[in-house]
Chains A and B, each alone.
Chain A
Amino acid sequence: MGIVSRGFFGRRREGDAELPPGQYLTHDFPVLSAGPTPRIGLDRWEFTIDTETGETHRWSWADLMKLPSETPTVDLHCVTKWSKLGTDWQGVSLDVLFEDVETSAEYALAYSYGGYTTNLPLEDLLDGKAWITYKFDGEDLTPPHGGPARLLVPHLYLWKSAKWVRGIRLMNEDWPGFWETAGYHNYGDPWREQRYQGD
């Protein structure tokens, strides 16, 4: 237990038991990003998966819309301490996109319009754990929240759910992304409170 701060009693909120350590509940949907919000027209939007052997799989917006979608309801945990529970999304499971991808790579780097990157083990993108989402709460995903399409990997801190996602590069070696090179944890499991390097 840490140092007790005189006169602090705190406010236990309903549902706190479900939250990862150090998180608090919010009902807003705060926006955090490191630069301006890119605007990407759907006519020139594309999503690619590049394998470690140089093979490229490519989807246009129309291609993405033709794929079967899912409607996951998930909890979001931001490294800046807020958590938002029971959020409703619609998107395509990465399992669908990886169906015809042959790879033995262990690592993935998600990259975005605007230049953002974030890394994660490939296995964290598969088996129903991640989606390319394009609707939030039944509405088209707005640009400040990552629209037209955003990677959603809800079991990791939200910075891993790359906004404005443009592709995933598969690699034999791990390659730290934007926040991962700026002092944040390489993996980012909220339940183990992996916020910063060394946590």
Chain B
Amino acid sequence: MRRLPWRAAKLTGIRQETATARTLVFTIPGWPGHLAGQHVDVRLTAPDGYSTERSYSVAAPERGDRVELTVELVEDGEVSPYLLEVLEVGDEVEIRGPVGGWFVWRPERATPVLLVGGGSGVVPLMAMIRARRAAGSSAPFRLIYSVREPDQRFYLDELADPQPGLDITYIFTRKTPDGWDRAPGRITAADLDGVSPGTDSYVCGPTGFVEAAADHLIALGHAPDRIRTERFGPTGG
């Protein structure tokens, strides 16, 4: 088995998603491809040889040598402030991957899918939504996306563009848009009711969010082995 090599990754595009998050488009010659839901390791090296690594979920499906990451600012972080505020088009970092063979969606699978994302946990779920569209899959998809406030939503324009078979529900935990009929608050069982227990569920977000959503799904009759989770703590970045 060959070691996953570090590859030079040149930043070729930037999309601002929110005031504190942006999508970075890298070009990585020799990239072996990846599945929606996988992640990569990013390594930064300083002139004196000091280096540090972080893991990020890939935001878009395989497309040649392009790899897109959406990175949210972690207050007091070491890597995310660099990726958000310093890195410019033409700069290079190193990336290796893809990593993770469990929290993935494969386009050949036709089973209905429930995606439950909290905050930047939506990133690997967006990769699945984009992979579904790119493959012309007709697997029914439902996205439930929880954020604190309306202006913290990633991919807003793209998700506003209707796609047949993709149903999207937003949950606002602190502040809703004007006239919104659900009061602000954390995800409840009622938000997840009505989804067939025969669905494949992918839940990604901060620990408390994932624990709550997965517990609600089990209480609603979903089998634990049909619920895949990815959790991240408020750490590092």
| Chain B residues within 8 Å of A3, by CB | 8, 45, 92-94
Cβ of A24 and Cβ of B229 under 8 Å apart?
no
Q: Does A115 contact B (CB under 8 A)?
A: yes
Cβ of B235 and Cβ of A10 under 8 Å apart?
no
Which of A4, A114, A182 contacts B101, CB < 8 Å?
A182
| Chain A residues within 8 Å of B131, by CB | none
Majority DSSP secondary structure for residues of A touching B = loop
Shortest beta-carbon distance from B184 to chain A in Å: 25
Cβ of A10 and Cβ of B86 under 8 Å apart?
no
| Chain A residues within 8 Å of B43, by CB | 2, 22
Measured in the bound complex, the distance between the Cα atoms of B82 and A188 in whole Å is: 29
Q: Does B231 contact A (CB under 8 A)?
A: yes
Cβ of B3 and Cβ of A199 under 8 Å apart?
yes
Cβ of B100 and Cβ of A26 under 8 Å apart?
no
Majority DSSP secondary structure for residues of B touching A = mixed
Known: A3-B92, A30-B235, A182-B101. A8 touches B44 (CB 8 A): yes
Measured in the bound complex, the distance between the Cα atoms of B103 and A179 in whole Å is: 11
| Chain B residues within 8 Å of A26, by CB | 233, 235-236
Q: Among residues 5 to 44 in chain A, which have CB atoms less than 8 Å away from a CB atom of chain B?
A: 5-12, 22, 24, 26, 28-38
| Chain B residues within 8 Å of A114, by CB | 224
Shortest beta-carbon distance from A32 to chain B in Å: 6
Cβ of A10 and Cβ of B44 under 8 Å apart?
yes
Cβ of B235 and Cβ of A82 under 8 Å apart?
yes
| Chain A residues within 8 Å of B218, by CB | 36
Cβ of A4 and Cβ of B4 under 8 Å apart?
no
Q: Does B102 contact A (CB under 8 A)?
A: yes
Q: Size range of the interface on A?
A: 35 or more
Cβ of B229 and Cβ of A34 under 8 Å apart?
yes
Cβ of A144 and Cβ of B236 under 8 Å apart?
no
Per-residue A-contact encoding for B81-117, CB less than 8 Å = 1, 0 else: 0100011100111100001111100000000000000
Known: A10-B46, A12-B50. A5 touches B87 (CB 8 A): yes
Cβ of B45 and Cβ of A80 under 8 Å apart?
no
Known: A32-B231, A198-B2. A24 touches B236 (CB 8 A): yes
Cβ of A36 and Cβ of B214 under 8 Å apart?
yes
Q: Among residues 109 to 160 in chain B, which have CB atoms less than 8 Å away from a CB atom of chain A?
A: none
B48's closest neighbor in chain A, by CB? A9
Cβ of A7 and Cβ of B86 under 8 Å apart?
yes
Measured in the bound complex, the distance between the Cα atoms of B231 and A182 in whole Å is: 17
Q: Among residues 48 to 107 in chain A, which have CB atoms less than 8 Å away from a CB atom of chain B?
A: 80-82
Known: A3-B94, A5-B93, A22-B53. A36 touches B227 (CB 8 A): yes
| Chain A residues within 8 Å of B234, by CB | 28
Cβ of B214 and Cβ of A35 under 8 Å apart?
yes
A186's closest neighbor in chain B, by CB? B1
| Chain A residues within 8 Å of B92, by CB | 3, 5-6
Shortest beta-carbon distance from A62 to chain B in Å: 27
Known: A9-B46, A24-B78, A115-B225. A2 touches B51 (CB 8 A): yes
Given contacts A8-B45, A82-B235, 4 further A-B contacts (CB under 8 A): A24-B52, A30-B235, A35-B225, A179-B102
Binding site for B on A (CB under 8 A): 1-12, 22, 24, 26, 28-38, 80-82, 114-115, 144, 178-179, 181-183, 195-199
